[in-house]
Structure 1
Amino acid sequence: MPFDPLRFQESINKEFELIKDRVDNLIDIDANHHGENGAYKEAILRKIIKRFLPKNISIGTGFIVTETGQNTYSRTTQIDIILYDNNYPLLFNEGDFIITTPKNVKAIIEVKTTIRNSELNDYIVKSKNNMNLIGNPNIFNGIFSYNYNENILVHNDAVSLPIKRALENSNGKINHISLGSNIFIKYWDENHPLDDNHNCTSNKFFNIYQLNDLSFSYFISNLIDYVVDEDTTERDWFMFPILSENGKEDHGIGYCCIE
């Protein structure tokens, strides 16, 4: 069979689904096991992301601590996934659990089994607060959900109101969201290279894409693009393999301006 980058990226989505289903079948999912099941989902995502990372980037879970004044300190809530430059020392490291300061943080990700439209704002508030404490607007800040069974659009192709309010509330602090295997959301700031800004006066907006069986892989590819210091455009054909004139932009189904 000839090499096919699109099929390779689709296989990442399929792998997520297969492992998720395997775990769901092995664990009795009831009120007493939601935490364990969530922990497994985080571990699955960490394992798959790790395959694509260069040697100087490590992945774990834990807290980020910073000095906020003389003899005063603050920390994030526990972050499901932290990507960090391992050339800079950690404050604490035990297995996958780490505590570090903001300087070496490359990405933070909140992982959920399922996200409902009404819940997205709560997760965005948590991730935004963590981003504000880290103080670096250039890191990857993502929300990843294995399942999404609701409608992101309503009549007249408008974005569902809870989703719209959540995205507006983010102020662009959360920049990548994967809602199940088909819906991918990306934030574009005022320096974006796109031809269409949807008449957003600030020139800042979220684009919502219908990427069937590719949302997970595009989330990871964008993550790698963010955390690697070197320019990776020479392998865009592999990381972003949608075969159309404008790539994923041809699969946009909605947007939300950030004013």
Structure 2
Amino acid sequence: MPNYLEYQKSVAAEFKAYECRVRNLIDGANWAEEGRYKEIILMNYLKRILPQNISVGTGFVRSGEKITKQIDIIIYDNTYPLLFSADDFIVACGESVLGFIEVKTDIAPGKIVEYIDKACFNEAVIRDTVRQPRFTFNGIFSYNLRSDIKRYYDRLSKVTYLKEDDNSFKYSVNHICLGNNYFIKLWGGRLARNCVNEQPRYSIYEMDQGNSGLAFAYFFSNLLEDVYIANNNFMNGIPTELKDLLYPIEEGKEVTKIKDIDINP
């Protein structure tokens, strides 16, 4: 019988190994380049695991007269034409975008809202002229945790989002990874397909399973599920076997939850 938990632990270990390998070879004066390399690590991993009609790049998304700020990783349906493409650098149309990710080496508690605001701005631009909007994976991926996790609680409680007329949240960062042990998911309102009437909240999970953090793996697993469904591959949910692979904690990740933080307008 397959051991999916050990498989997902190996995913987390792979990312930490890549990070350490580069850091051990360059000095502090080149850490800006290390950050770019970390984007490449993540991009190359996504290229391996995403379906063939879904691609990844870095660059900008244009919707009508508006354009995003530069986005580290854009996940898009490659059956749509690009406005511009040169290797991995792209300018995409909003209709093609299934998700996007900001990649950081680490995030100071005082900076997390700034990064969330940037990502919300980008999603607002992407969705501005889209005729048939679909759920967008809007993620922030940090390789390391800068400070004690409790220092992020108060900051996250101050997050606000532009709202729809029906009082649900319109643009949102819905997945955050803070190092390999802490995974944060946004629930409620428009942000989760099956939680429309719930109070929007961030749930924080401490995913140190047997000294092998699963936050990286669960970030990717949520990305895959959201992209598959947004791409209309699995309209009724993902197959059971795939779900077992993506979410291998037998009791479910809720047993690792350490905090809920309500999000208020």
Alignment partner of 1:250 is 2:255: yes
Aligned counterparts, 1:23-42, within 5 A: 23-30=22-29, 33-42=30-39
Among 229, 233, 251, the residue aligned to 1:230:
233
The whole-number CA distance in structure 2 between the counterparts of 1:193 and 1:169 is 20
Aligned residues: 239
Separation (CA, whole Å) in 2 of partners of 1:133 and 1:5: 38
CA–CA distance in structure 2, aligned partners of residues 26 and 128 of structure 1: 35
**1:68-217 to 2 correspondences below 5 Å:** 73-135=65-127, 136=133, 138-153=135-150, 160-166=153-159, 168=160, 173-190=172-189, 193=194, 203-212=199-208, 213-217=213-217
Retained in 2: the 8 A contact 1:137–1:173? no
* Residues 230 and 192 (structure 1), Cα distance of their counterparts in 2 relative to 1, 3 Å cut: closer
In the TM superposition, residue 217 of structure 1 has moved relative to its aligned partner by: 0.6
In structure 2, the gaps of 5 or more residues are: 128-132, 163-168
Runs of 5+ unmatched residues, structure 1: 68-72
Matched-pair contact (CA < 8 Å) for 2:105–2:142: yes
Query: Secondary structure at 2:185's aligned position in 1?
Result: strand
TM-score by length of 2: 0.84
TM-score by length of structure 1 reads 0.86
Three-state SS of the structure 2 residue aligned to 1:40 is: helix
Q: Which amino acid aligns with 1:51?
A: R
Q: CA deviation at 1:188?
A: 1.1
- CA distance in 2 between counterparts of 1:233 and 1:35 reads 41
Amino acid paired to 1:9 = Q
| Moved segments of 4+, more than 3 Å | 168-172, 190-194
- Computed over aligned residues only, the root mean square deviation of the Cα atoms, in angstroms, reads 2.0
1:53 pairs with 34, 50, 54, which one? Answer: 50
Q: Is the 8 A contact 2:55 2:75 kept in 1?
A: yes
- Structure 1 position 164, deviation (Å): 2.3
Alpha-carbon contact 2:55-2:78 (below 8 Å) kept: yes
